[in-house]
Amino acid sequence: MKINKILLIVLSYFILTVNISYAITFDEWKKNFKSRAISEGVSEKTFDLVMNNAKFLPKVIEYDRYQPEFYENTKTYISKRTSKKKVQNGLSFYKNNEDLINDVEKNFDIEKELLLALMGIETNFGNYLGKMDIISSLSTLSFDKRRSKFFTNELLIILKLIDKGTVDPNILYGSWAGAFGNFQFMPSTIEKYAIDYNDNNIIELKNSTDSFASAANYLKKMGWKKNEPCFKQVSLKPDTPKKFLNTSAKKIKYQKKLKYYKKYINNKLTLDDNVNVAIITPDADIVDNAKINEPAYLVFQNYELILKWNRSLRFGLAVCTLKNKFENEL
């Protein structure tokens, strides 16, 4: 008998949260972390200014332990995030920022429709940026042992950026995991890709100018190919080998030339036979009683680049779908 997946997650969450214990207190951790931060170049003045008010946030641990992606099918997931209202909001945002967005598109060679799609799905065009204290969130996750190494590194990076005057510590409010701004950049992403596009000597990722240019810079450096496809939905034949069906976003496997996969596809395709593709079936491991090979999508290089932004098969599909809808309107 198949056990309901949601019940399993809830039970796992309960077991994990009731058994959390720590060898040292948060204040003791903060004292130890101060020594490390200073040894890695963070000034004592900056550390004290930023970290003295850092708090342990139990809610952040709850979010980290229990991250249930709502168990709706891919069709529903995409339709909710690419609705007519979302498109209308994006068109209004574009109208109010047309010169900036066109300038960024021209200078970075990244489609404005893609930038609008990412901003729309990440923060609803800047209307939902998150309200969590990022320093406290990162400190909590660094103190916690589950992913301490990752979040300690992110915390050190944001402290160094503050120390350099690159980021204003007074506006660091965002997601529970430490993501910030219109496009929800983590500190390491800020360090590598964020730019001061308006030349005012500070990176303001809640500002349209810096955030749009930074997102475009990120996509360009990742290797996004302008005007190339992202995905195509297909109908698979029943005898398609299950091993070719990617159900996880961690790593897309079995990339092959399209001509190899054609024998498993019912659709007539006009794509280049030699283009490299993979097959994803995002419902298979998420939705109870989902069919093994429905829905199915051919995905291309650009799709995999979206997964570097957010490791979710359905996030990638939603972004590319919304991008296509903007292309029909602009």
Average pLDDT over residues 143-153: 93
Distance separating alpha carbons of residues 13 and 66, to the nearest angstrom:
6
List all residues 6 or more positions away from 269 whose beta carbon is below 8 Å from its beta carbon.
Answer: 232, 234, 258, 262
pLDDT tens digits, 165-203: 999 999 999 999 999 999 999 999 999 999 999 999 999
* Mean pLDDT of the 285-296 span: 75
123 half-sphere exposure, CB direction, 13 A CA radius: 25
247 in Cβ contact with 312 (< 8 Å): no
Distance separating the N- and C-terminal Cα atoms of the chain? 50
DSSP codes, 96-126: HTHHHHHHHHHHHT--HHHHHHHHHHHHTTT
Give 110's pLDDT tier (boundaries 50, 70, 90): very high
- The secondary structure element, H or E, covering residue 280 is strand 276-280
pLDDT band at 18 (very low <50, low <70, confident <90, very high): very low
Question: How many angstroms separate the Cα of 13 from the Cα of each of 20, 59, 125, 215, 230?
Answer: 11, 13, 32, 34, 35
On the CB side of 170, how many CA atoms lie within 13 Å of its CA? 2
Q: Judge contact between 259 and 220, C-beta under 8 A.
A: no
Delimit the domains of the chain by residue range. 231-299
Q: Give 33-82 pLDDT, tens digit per residue.
A: 999 999 999 999 999 999 999 999 999 999 887 654 556 789 999 999 99
H helix intervals, the chain = 5-18, 26-39, 44-51, 58-65, 74-81, 84-96, 98-108, 112-123, 134-143, 148-164, 187-193, 208-222, 258-261, 301-309, 313-327
- Model-level pTM greater than 0.95? no
pLDDT for residue 132 is more than 50? yes
